[in-house]
Structure 1
Amino acid sequence: MTRTPAPSLPTRRRLLTGVSGLAGLAGLAVMSTGLVRAASAEPTLLAQADLRGGHDGDLAGLLPDVVDDQSRRLQQAIDDAAREGRILRLPAGDYYFSNLTLPDGARLAGVPGATRLIYTGRGHGLLAEGGERVALDGLVIDGANQRLGEHVRGLVQLRNVGNLTLRDVQIAGSAKYGLALEGCGGTVEQCDLSGAAEAGLYAVESRTLTIRDNHVHDCGNGGILVHRWSKGFDGTLISGNRIARIAATNGGTGPFGNGINLFRAGGVIINGNHVSDCAFSAIRANSADNCQIIGNQALHSGETAIYSEFEFSGAVIANNLIDGGTMGISVANFDRGGRLSVISGNLVRNLSTSGPYVPKNSGFGIGIAVEADASVSGNTIEGAPKWGVMAGWGPYLRDVALTGNMIRHCGAGIAVSVVEGAGATLVQGNIFSHTPQGAVIGTRWNETVTGDLARQGAEAFAHLTVRNNVAG
């Protein structure tokens, strides 16, 4: 049963008829000053008739809260508004739809939290293919977990849009990604993305994209993904987002289940985000050059909290707070060319030796791990059951400086590779407290092969300098 629609707003015809009448009275202005003043109201009424740039949904025949699919009327209203350079404003209520296309210049606005577009599951939700501008504001877009066609990745799919704006939009219940952006620039801000079977937001080949102040939560395989088809500069800014409860329903050992994930995307800044309860990493950067990960909170991660891995060159990981995880920060894969990093001012605590899979290589319970061309300074590490810092893995160690760190209540303080071929390593000016297996130990891969090198024996290894440390 349909709901009887409320009386509609005055139509343009009525408004313009009133304006025309006033214009006729203006012709008598030579006889009456009052009528001249009445005629002067014409510009104001014309502005009202034009709805100040708006294009109300009810004027297009759209009715909220009816059970019928309104895709045809919605599409016509979207096309008309875009052609006329206007905003299509939708009143509060539910609108059932499928297969809507957003042309260049499409701008849709609703009542935040109350204007709901509900996908009925026949093809795609909202799709834009090219154009300079598309804007969505104040809408709830509900995928209802309905099937999406093979031609789209997300419930809302925008391709090659030069300047998109999504503000205060809720996207929920997508059978794939919530929001999928390909080759786009612009801003996604203050949106709520939840319940996606894959990730809340997937962006690939972006151009000057900003992702800020969003809430991304309860998704099946990822939170915010910024990828490129091939390795190169991306430049996306990811700031101030709250990301929580990200699962890894596809399994694996790290490609899924991350709050923020970069893949091949260089020049990305990740700062000021609050990321919690992810199956794997809070922040994971794979083959991402010149990435900055600064001032984030990473809580209750299922595996390594912050990762920079594989073929990367250049990473700054600074001033992050990490509480929980199997490893705090890992900067790895010198064997694949991963190198050049600064890890400073981070607080890492409360790590675990129990993770989401049977560990290999170094295992779990390590505060910070580095391999090549790295400065590790001014960090505070507490509660790493195995090692506070791991420097190198077998021969994969080169030019690492470990200075001015506070390491306490860890199994051992710093574990340094002493395998043949390991490169220059400086351990200086660190403070160790309650490290029962030693402040500085030498390792061959996963095996401890020396005593406490902070006390004696470091001179036996030409690549290793240990001095001026304080061990409690």
Structure 2
Amino acid sequence: MYLRRTLLSFLGMALAMPMAGRAFAESKPALRGALDASGAAGNRLQALINEAARSDTPLYLPAGTYEAANLVLPDNTRIIGVPGASRILHRGSVNSAEGARRIELSGVVIEGHGAMIEENNAGLVQLTGVAKVQIDNCEIRGSDKHGLRLERCGGQIERSRLSGAAQAGIFAVDSTGLAIAGNAVADCGNGGILVHRWDKGEDGTVVTGNRVIRIRADDGGTGQNGNGINIFRAGGVMVANNHIADCAFTAVRANSGDNVQITGNQCLRSGETAIYAEFDFQGAVISGNLVDGAANGISIANFNEGGRLAAITGNIVRNLRRDGPYKAEVGFGIGIGAEADTVISGNVIEGAPLWAMQLGWGPYLRNLVVTGNVVRKAPVGCAVSVAEGAGAALIADNIFQDMSEGAVFGFEWEKKVSGDLTKTGSARYPHLTIERNRNS
């Protein structure tokens, strides 16, 4: 571990001083003596961090490039740098000390520097059990695992840039009142922002105002990788007003998280379904989002696994396509899909090349209300399940325009078994109420 000799003189100021402290010239001689043939300046940086934390004093890191390895951030660490210019090239993980209550990083660049991080689920910056994390206007880049990994942490991650992680840009698990706001996450191998829990439960993380772009799925799969924002087992999470583009799979995927709100997001060019609430969840609000370019638009799925109870309102879904990253049961090109205890209202769907809406799947249909939607340019407006065991659905007061086959058809699984029910009536299917729709 070493610091470049040309920058050593700056570290003498690093014990800052609430800005009025010892003079720069006074610090030079002591600091130059910190480097010896064994490269002890890396240990000196750790010593400076420890001393500043003990005295409850910010550590000021002037502009320059510093090399270190396996730094540990004790309780009360506050490191302040020059944004974009105070650069730490780091081998291994920057870890928090056990039991730290407060750690703050501001204006520093932390960059992976060649050494492999051994633990598969680790991060270049790894904070565990920290009650108050404050990361502001930092850059974290080039990790061979996650960029920033947080476990059992609260606080704020804001105005920071995370890029080039082999796994996810931000991986937060078992959070305790965390806010992830105004960050840019780009060019990561398997995920953008991940909010997970080891066991299903209340989480309360807020993910807002972030820009997440170019997320790949290097490790493959059918949805566990390649998502811009991924919620897993975490309840009470809000995902609002984010810009998410060019993700290999999904812009916002909520898996087994109760009471999740997905609102006001812009979701562009998703490789699979743009917005998902799936598997074992109860309660999802998906409103005011714009989806442009995806294989599917919005999906409320897996009633067979307990997935139910949602409102899909006021979204725009457009320019979908038939191709996807794997072979699907009925193919891709569906605007909005839902199965149980869900209202689909006030949405605009244009350019769904298969079905504008998929209502139920086989017997997995219960209590759907589909009203006041505008649907344009699709072969089928609504594909509603009429398979044995399917429950109630109300389809009313919608406008269908330029449907090449028709507005509403009954399906048994993937097989169309009726004519257009807006014309022939639905008396044959007593579980359906279809009325006052306009088809032009």
Equivalent residues in 2 for 1:296-445, closer than 5 Å: 296-359=265-328, 361-445=329-413
Q: 1:66 to 1:362 in 2, by over 3 A?
A: farther
Among 66, 69, 72, the alignment partner of 1:95 is 66
* Residue 420 (structure 1) shift: 1.0
How large is the Cα RMSD of the aligned pairs?
A: 2.7
Q: 1:147 to 1:463 in 2, by over 3 A?
A: same
Q: 1:196 to 1:373 in 2, by over 3 A?
A: same
* Residue 50 (structure 1) shift: 6.9
How far apart, in 2, do the equivalents of 1:256 and 1:99 lie? 28
Q: Aligned residue for 1:267?
A: 236
Q: Aligned residue for 1:16?
A: none
Structure 1 residues 320-346: Cα deviation after superposition (integer angstroms, max 9, x where no partner): 000011110000000000000000000
Among 178, 186, 210, the alignment partner of 1:217 is 186
Instruction: Give the TM-score, by structure 1 length.
Output: 0.87
How far apart, in 1, do the equivalents of 2:398 and 2:226 lie? 34
Q: 1:152 to 1:320 in 2, by over 3 A?
A: closer
CA contact under 8 A between 1:146 and 1:174: conserved in structure 2?
no
* Residue 149 (structure 1) shift: 2.8
Amino acid in structure 1 at the alignment position of 2:298: I
Among 27, 31, 46, the alignment partner of 1:61 is 31
CA contact under 8 A between 1:62 and 1:74: conserved in structure 2?
no
Q: 1:165 to 1:406 in 2, by over 3 A?
A: same
Q: Aligned residue for 1:471?
A: 439
CA contact under 8 A between 1:207 and 1:235: conserved in structure 2?
yes
Among 76, 81, 88, the alignment partner of 2:52 is 81
CA contact under 8 A between 2:4 and 2:65: conserved in structure 1?
no
* Residue 447 (structure 1) shift: 1.0
CA contact under 8 A between 2:408 and 2:421: conserved in structure 1?
yes
Which consecutive unaligned segments of at least 5 residues does structure 1 have?
Answer: 12-44
Q: Aligned residue for 1:39?
A: none
Count of residue pairs brought into register by the alignment: 434
Structure that is richer in strand per residue: 2
How far apart, in 2, do the equivalents of 1:338 and 1:6 lie? 58
How far apart, in 2, do the equivalents of 1:253 and 1:47 lie? 52
Equivalent residues in 2 for 1:95-134, closer than 5 Å: 95-120=66-91, 123-134=92-103
How far apart, in 2, do the equivalents of 1:135 and 1:327 lie? 41
* Residue 10 (structure 1) shift: 9.9
Which consecutive unaligned segments of at least 5 residues does structure 2 have?
Answer: none
CA contact under 8 A between 2:34 and 2:44: conserved in structure 1?
no
How far apart, in 1, do the equivalents of 2:171 and 2:251 lie? 16
Q: 1:243 to 1:79 in 2, by over 3 A?
A: same
> Residue 409 of structure 1 aligns to a residue in which SS?
strand
* Residue 57 (structure 1) shift: 9.0
* Residue 71 (structure 1) shift: 2.1
Identity of aligned residues (%): 52
How far apart, in 1, do the equivalents of 2:86 and 2:399 lie? 57
> Residue 335 of structure 2 aligns to a residue in which SS?
strand
Q: 1:315 to 1:266 in 2, by over 3 A?
A: same
> Residue 435 of structure 1 aligns to a residue in which SS?
strand
> Residue 424 of structure 2 aligns to a residue in which SS?
coil
> Residue 406 of structure 2 aligns to a residue in which SS?
coil
Q: 1:434 to 1:96 in 2, by over 3 A?
A: same
